[in-house]
């Protein structure tokens, strides 16, 4: 069977997107999608022959220039000018993995038959995706309001033989790549430029990418937190289901249940404890980790709706014989949820760093800074500094973008979402979280060795054995930068059960 995902009107889910990406599936239009696109384009072509009235974005200017009527002979040039003029992104380049998701989501949105694009335009986007021809796109330039105009303009430039793309790891002019592939540049027809540039695929692609990583790190935060609990000689009672059934937040219940599973059979957790209570960073793991899980679930629902939506403007409704200009490109639903997600992920990092701090504090029979011959050795003193600095940065990054708005387009676009900034910040936060958790794992795996010969659960011991193959125990001071980087790589490449993404 061919490794192909067919674009249909069936709902995309985060799990399906993850499968498409992880299995490197190729894309193809279903017959249904092909028919939707062709039928809508034919309707628009016929409408342009019979209607003299101005239709926004089809035979008018854009933004505050909506009252300027454009003659029929200039409609293709209008669309080409739109793509070129809006390609004014700047800053860092969008990661190639996110560019690929942008292509997937733009293809999906255009396939519903409400955007009026040519079939060959969508097929060329599929060609780019399938051949890993990835447009060079920049992180800065979108207000997240009239769609992600600047990023999507850069996504669209190669269609007309403009801009640059990455192929086989090399940055090349799009024109040369088209020649090499034997492809002619697309001649954009009425509305096509607007259909390509209006849309939320920049914000959506970032959101999908961050969500996939967030789900994995949420799970790993539990696993690493369980190692820390064992290393700190913590108590299992706060994870008793009776506590959580009387405050039945789903994430809280799931977290407590997972900890009981992770620690089943542990000798350390069942030994008699000298202390009556643990600090909040251990005792309240179900409540804090659980709240982040609930946030992730909410954000997943919003993005599931978004990636299955038509977000360009105007929208074409063949059955009603209407072309309606509205605001589906406005990124407010995404801006709010991306901010919420960023806050929730920053909190996972915040509580993680507190556990790291407790582990190095010389409490509960653990040596200060988790090393023998302290004084001569500084041990794990400074990785906690590093974690603290990253946690502080995440707090700053978690300041909401969505509360801001700056007027643009001569007042026509007088409220914007700033969702694109929320999206790029969310990626930085989740990447930072990975490093914070890596530092906690370094500390927890070191600390648990001071509980020997007692053993943790079979799962935890297998996890630690796998980790020790990448990062050995610290006997004497060494350059811990390399340990941090190797731990990040260990977490990054760790394969987890796909059921976690459901």
Question: Do residue 180 and residue 216 come from a single domain?
Answer: no
Q: What is the DSSP letter of 408?
A: B
Question: Do residue 149 and residue 293 come from a single domain?
Answer: no
Give the span between the Cα atoms of 474 and 481, in whole angstroms. 13
Q: What is the 3-state secondary structure (H, E, C) of 199-238?
A: CCHHHHHHHHHHHHHHHHHHHHHHHHHHHHHHHCCCCCHH
Q: Which 3 state secondary structure label does DSSP give 29? A: strand
Domain end marker among 170, 199, 228: 199
Q: What is the DSSP letter of 23?
A: T
CB contact at 8 A, 281 and 242 = no
Question: Do residue 280 and residue 155 come from a single domain?
Answer: no
CA distances from 206 to 202, 328, 378, 418, 448 (A): 6, 18, 40, 14, 37
Question: Do residue 329 and residue 429 come from a single domain?
Answer: yes
Structural domains in the chain (count): 2
Give the span between the Cα atoms of 79 and 195, in whole angstroms. 10
* 318 inside domain: no
* 102 inside domain: yes
Which domain range does residue 11 map to? Answer: 4-199
> 327-331, long-range: CB within 8 Å, 24+ apart, which pairs?
329/145, 329/146, 329/147, 329/198, 329/199, 329/200, 330/144, 330/145, 330/146, 330/417, 331/144, 331/145, 331/147, 331/148, 331/200, 331/203, 331/417, 331/419, 331/420
H helix intervals, 87-200: 96-110, 119-130, 149-156, 174-181, 192-197
Q: Taking Cα atoms as reference points, which of 125, 205, 198, 193 lies closest to residue 165?
A: 125
Active site residues: 56
Radius of gyration of the chain (CA): 26
Question: Do residue 100 and residue 71 come from a single domain?
Answer: yes
Element (H, E) at 7: strand 4-7
Give the span between the Cα atoms of 414 and 281, in whole angstroms. 44
CB contact at 8 A, 491 and 468 = no
Question: Do residue 23 and residue 172 come from a single domain?
Answer: yes
CA atoms within 13 A on the CB side of 427: 19
Question: Do residue 266 and residue 178 come from a single domain?
Answer: no
Domain end marker among 199, 221, 254: 199
Question: Do residue 78 and residue 9 come from a single domain?
Answer: yes
CB contact at 8 A, 209 and 427 = yes
pLDDT tens over the chain, length 502 residues = 579 999 998 889 999 999 999 999 999 999 999 999 999 999 999 988 887 777 777 777 666 666 777 777 788 898 999 999 999 999 999 999 999 999 999 999 999 999 999 999 999 999 999 999 999 999 999 999 988 999 999 999 999 999 999 999 999 999 999 999 999 999 999 899 999 999 999 999 999 999 999 999 999 999 999 999 999 999 999 999 999 999 999 999 999 999 999 999 999 999 999 999 999 999 999 999 999 999 999 999 999 999 999 999 999 999 999 999 999 999 999 999 999 999 999 999 999 999 999 999 999 999 999 998 888 899 999 999 999 999 999 999 999 999 999 999 888 888 999 999 999 999 999 999 999 999 999 999 999 999 999 999 999 999 999 999 999 999 999 999 999 999 999 999 998 887 777 6
pLDDT of 453 reads 97
CA distances from 379 to 64, 211, 233, 304, 475 (A): 62, 35, 20, 45, 9
Domain end marker among 153, 183, 199: 199
> CATH code at 116?
1.10.275.10
Give the span between the Cα atoms of 493 and 471, in whole angstroms. 14
Question: Do residue 67 and residue 133 come from a single domain?
Answer: yes
Give the span between the Cα atoms of 37 and 486, in whole angstroms. 48
Question: Do residue 12 and residue 158 come from a single domain?
Answer: yes
pLDDT of 275 reads 95
Question: Do residue 263 and residue 124 come from a single domain?
Answer: no
The tokens 């849309």 sit on which residue?
199
* 335 inside domain: yes
The tokens 């090499």 sit on which residue?
180
Q: Which are the contacts of 6, defined by CB distance < 8 A and separation ≥ 6?
A: 27, 28, 29, 30, 33
Question: Do residue 461 and residue 364 come from a single domain?
Answer: yes
């Amino acid at each position: 069977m061919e490794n192909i995902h067919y674009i249909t009107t069936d709902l995309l889910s985060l799990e399906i997107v993850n499968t498409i990406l992880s299995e490197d599936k190729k894309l193809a239009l279903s017959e249904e999608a092909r028919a939707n696109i062709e039928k809508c384009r034919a309707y628009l072509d016929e409408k342009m022959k019979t209607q003299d009235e101005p239709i926004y974005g089809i035979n008018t200017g854009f933004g505050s220039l909506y009252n300027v009527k454009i003659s029929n002979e200039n409609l293709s040039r209008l669309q080409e000018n739109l793509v070129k003029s809006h390609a004014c992104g700047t800053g860092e380049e969008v990661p190639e993995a996110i560019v690929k998701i942008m292509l997937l989501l733009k293809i999906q949105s255009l396939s519903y038959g409400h955007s009026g694009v040519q079939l060959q335009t969508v097929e060329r986007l599929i060609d780019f995706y399938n051949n890993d021809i990835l447009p060079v796109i920049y992180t800065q330039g979108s207000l997240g309001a009239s769609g992600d105009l600047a990023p999507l303009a850069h996504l669209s430039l190669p269609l007309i033989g403009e801009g640059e793309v990455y192929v086989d790891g090399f940055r090349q002019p799009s024109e040369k790549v088209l020649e090499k592939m034997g492809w002619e540049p697309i001649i954009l027809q009425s509305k096509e430029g607007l259909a390509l540039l209006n849309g939320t695929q920049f914000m959506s692609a970032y959101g999908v990418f961050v969500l996939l990583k967030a789900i994995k790190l949420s799970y790993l935060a539990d696993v690493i937190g369980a190692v820390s609990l064992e290393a700190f000689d913590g108590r299992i009672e706060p994870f008793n289901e009776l506590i959580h059934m009387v405050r039945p937040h789903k994430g809280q219940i799931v977290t407590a249940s997972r900890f009981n599973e992770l620690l089943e059979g542990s000798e350390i957790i069942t030994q008699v404890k000298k202390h009556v209570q643990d600090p909040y960073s251990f005792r309240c793991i179900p409540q804090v980790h659980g709240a982040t899980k609930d946030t992730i679930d909410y954000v997943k629902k919003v993005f599931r709706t978004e990636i299955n939506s038509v977000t360009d403007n105007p929208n074409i409704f063949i059955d009603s014989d209407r072309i309606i200009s509205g605001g589906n490109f406005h990124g407010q639903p995404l801006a709010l949820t991306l901010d919420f997600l960023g806050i929730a992920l920053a909190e996972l990092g915040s509580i993680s760093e507190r556990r790291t701090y407790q582990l190095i504090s010389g409490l509960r029979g653990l040596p200060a800074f988790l090393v023998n011959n302290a004084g001569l050795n500084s041990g794990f003193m400074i990785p906690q500094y590093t974690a603290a600095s990253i946690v502080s940065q995440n707090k700053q990054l978690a300041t909401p973008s969505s509360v801001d708005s700056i007027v643009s387009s001569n007042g026509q676009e007088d409220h914007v979402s700033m969702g694109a900034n929320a999206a790029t910040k969310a990626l930085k936060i989740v990447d930072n979280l990975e490093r914070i958790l890596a530092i906690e794992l370094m500390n927890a795996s070191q600390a648990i060795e001071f509980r020997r010969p007692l053993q943790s659960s079979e799962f935890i011991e297998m996890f630690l054995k796998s980790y020790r193959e990448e990062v050995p125990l610290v006997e004497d001071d060494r350059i811990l930068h390399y340990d941090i980087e190797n731990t990040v790589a260990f977490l990054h490449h760790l394969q987890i059960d796909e059921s976690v993404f459901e």
